[in-house]
Amino acid sequence: MPRVKPIYSNTFTKRRRTWITVIVVLCLAVLVGGVLWLHLRNPRPNAQQYPQLGVRISQTDGSQDFDALKKQQVSFVYLKATEGASYFDDNFDANYSQATGSNLRVGVYHYFSFSSTPRKQAASFYKHVGGSIGDLPLAIEVTNYTTVPKQAELTRNLQQLVTLLQTHYGVQVILMGTPAMLAKVKSVAPTAGRMVISSKARAAKSAMFWEYAADAKIPGGGSTEYHCIVAKKLP
């Protein structure tokens, strides 16, 4: 007669298999969780596809160590300069001096106002920024911070500001915004570059710059969070 295993033996075997399965599942969960945590902490897009890493900085980010950013493989920065017809970023002059002194590529941007005329906004930019425009295209950020004007008014005023800045400085001016906002102003300077603000890669497929996160840490950097930007190449 074949030998019959005791009931407790079968029970022990089943329990052991169950525990092994549980341990394997837990290990996989920890591994996947760790990968996700690292991605959320440093969600930098593929460095081979987007080799140029940059950050966008304003006075709300406080003082910066641009030499440290350079060592962390940051190759360019965009600095906020003006907003509307009167606001000037308190840290712009210091940021600009230190960033250029660190041999970073530098861009400067203006925050577009719906309530100020394009001429007044341009005049404020000339007054406060002067010739400190860096070596990357000037940028205009357009956001729906309040009720957005009608399409015709929005595009007319934005195009006028783009033309004023291009004529005054003789450089390219790009537009910065979410995919939805950039779609609203697609007729403005249609051949100029765009800086797309989106967490989704497909939204930035044809953009000159892609701001992929507004609160991400730089890979290999410290705990500071930045508006992080990547580019396939710098103009």
Residues 6+ apart with CB under 8 A from 233: 51, 52
Instruction: List the CATH number of the domain containing 185.
Output: 3.20.20.80
Q: What is the pTM of this model?
A: 0.82
My answer on whether 168 and 217 are in the same domain is yes
Predicted confidence (pLDDT) per residue in 200-215, tens digit: 999 999 999 999 999 9
My answer on whether 6 and 67 are in the same domain is no
* Per-residue pLDDT at 30 exceeds 60: no
In degrees, rounded to 5, the angle at the alpha carbon of residue 92 between the alpha carbons of residues 87 and 94 is 145
Residue 55: predicted pLDDT: 98
Domain count, the chain: 2
Residue 33: predicted pLDDT: 38
Q: What is the mean pLDDT of residues 103-115?
A: 98
My answer on whether 123 and 200 are in the same domain is yes
Residue 220: predicted pLDDT: 76
My answer on whether 122 and 161 are in the same domain is yes
Q: For residue 15, give Cα distances in angstroms to 19, 20, 21, 28, 190.
A: 6, 9, 10, 20, 67
In degrees, rounded to 5, the angle at the alpha carbon of residue 195 between the alpha carbons of residues 137 and 138 is 20
Q: What's the chain's average pLDDT?
A: 88
Q: Please give the Cα distance from 198 to 160 (Å, whole number).
A: 26
My answer on whether 28 and 76 are in the same domain is no
Could you tell me the residue range of the domain that residue 35 belongs to?
Answer: 1-41
My answer on whether 50 and 31 are in the same domain is no
My answer on whether 109 and 51 are in the same domain is yes
My answer on whether 60 and 8 are in the same domain is no
My answer on whether 145 and 124 are in the same domain is yes
My answer on whether 5 and 101 are in the same domain is no
Tally DSSP H helices, then E strands, for the chain.
6, 9
Q: At what angle do helices 118-129 and 151-169 cross, to 10 degrees?
A: 30
Predicted confidence (pLDDT) per residue in 67-105, tens digit: 999 999 999 999 999 999 999 999 999 999 999 999 999
My answer on whether 37 and 77 are in the same domain is no
Task: Enumerate the H helices of 42-91 as residue ranges.
Answer: 66-71
Cβ neighbourhood burial of 42 (10 Å; 0-12, 13-18, 19+): middle
For 94-129, b/e burial (b = at least 16 CB within 10 A) is ebbebbbebebbbbbbbbbbbebebeebbebbeebb
